[in-house]
C-alpha cells in the first residue's frame, strides 16, 4: 500500500488566547461579514481556490446554500472584488466548539496577509458567538502553506487521517 492522501485535524484549545491581528493589510482591502448578497461570490471564491486540487468533488451553489450557517463568515474585499473568505461556524451538537470550514484566498491576493487577517477575524467572531475552542481540517500536501498559518495563530495537531491505496499489479 502507498499513502495517497492525508488530512490533519487541528485544534485551537482556547479562543481567549488569540494573537492580535497586526492590522497590516494592503491598501484598499477591508475585512468584514459576508452579507447574503455576497453568498454566491463567497462560494465562487472557495470553488475557484480548489480548481486544481485533487480529491475534490463538485460543490454546487445550491448545496452550498443548503448547508450554509453564515453567522461567523468573514470576507476580505479589495475595493469591490471579493479577495478571500473564512467560512466559520459553531458545531451544531456543541456550540462551544467553532469550526473553520473553509479559508480561501484568491490566487492573485495570496501572500499579502489576507489569510491570517480572515482567520483571526473568523476566530474572533466564533468567540463572540460563544465558542471556547476551534477546530479545522487541512490536507498535508498543501502548496499554500496553510498549516504554517494555522500553527502561527495557535492551532495544534490532534489527529491525522491517512488514505492508502494498494497498487494494482499489471
> What is the distance between the alpha carbons of residues 134 and 128, in angstroms, rounded to a whole number?
12
User: How, if at all, do strands 2-12 and 29-33 pair?
Assistant: unpaired
User: Three cell numbers at 72?
Assistant: 461567523
Global confidence as pTM: 0.88
Q: Which sequence spans correspond to the domains of the chain?
A: 2-165
> What is the distance between the alpha carbons of residues 105 and 142, in angstroms, rounded to a whole number?
14
DSSP state at residue 168? P
pLDDT digits (tens, 9 = 90+) for 93-149: 999 999 999 999 998 888 888 999 999 999 999 999 999 999 999 887 776 678 889
Closest CA to 28 of 86, 85, 80, 104: 80
User: Three cell numbers at 112?
Assistant: 499579502
CATH code of the domain made up of 2-165:
3.40.630.30
pLDDT digits (tens, 9 = 90+) for 56-90: 677 889 999 888 899 999 999 998 889 999 999 99
Collapsing DSSP to helix, strand or coil, 73 comes out as: coil
Amino acid at each position: 500500500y502507498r499513502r495517497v492522501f492525508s488530512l490533519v485535524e487541528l485544534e485551537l484549545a482556547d479562543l481567549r488566547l488569540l494573537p492580535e491581528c497586526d492590522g497590516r493589510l494592503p491598501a484598499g482591502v477591508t475585512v468584514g461579514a459576508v452579507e447574503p448578497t455576497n453568498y454566491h461570490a463567497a462560494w465562487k471564491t472557495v470553488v475557484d481556490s480548489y480548481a486544481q486540487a485533487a480529491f475534490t468533488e463538485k460543490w454546487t451553489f445550491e448545496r452550498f446554500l443548503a448547508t450554509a450557517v453564515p453567522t461567523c463568515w468573514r470576507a476580505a474585499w479589495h475595493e469591490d472584488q471579493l479577495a478571500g473568505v473564512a467560512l466559520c461556524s459553531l458545531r451544531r451538537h456543541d456550540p462551544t466548539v467553532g469550526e473553520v470550514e473553509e479559508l480561501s484566498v484568491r490566487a492573485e491576493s495570496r501572500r499579502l496577509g489576507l489569510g491570517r487577517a480572515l482567520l483571526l477575524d473568523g476566530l474572533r467572531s466564533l468567540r463572540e458567538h460563544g465558542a471556547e475552542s476551534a477546530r479545522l481540517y487541512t490536507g498535508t500536501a498543501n502548496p499554500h502553506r496553510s498549516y504554517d498559518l494555522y500553527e502561527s495563530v495557535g492551532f495544534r495537531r490532534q489527529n491525522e487521517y491517512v488514505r492508502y491505496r494498494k497498487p494494482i499489479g499489471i
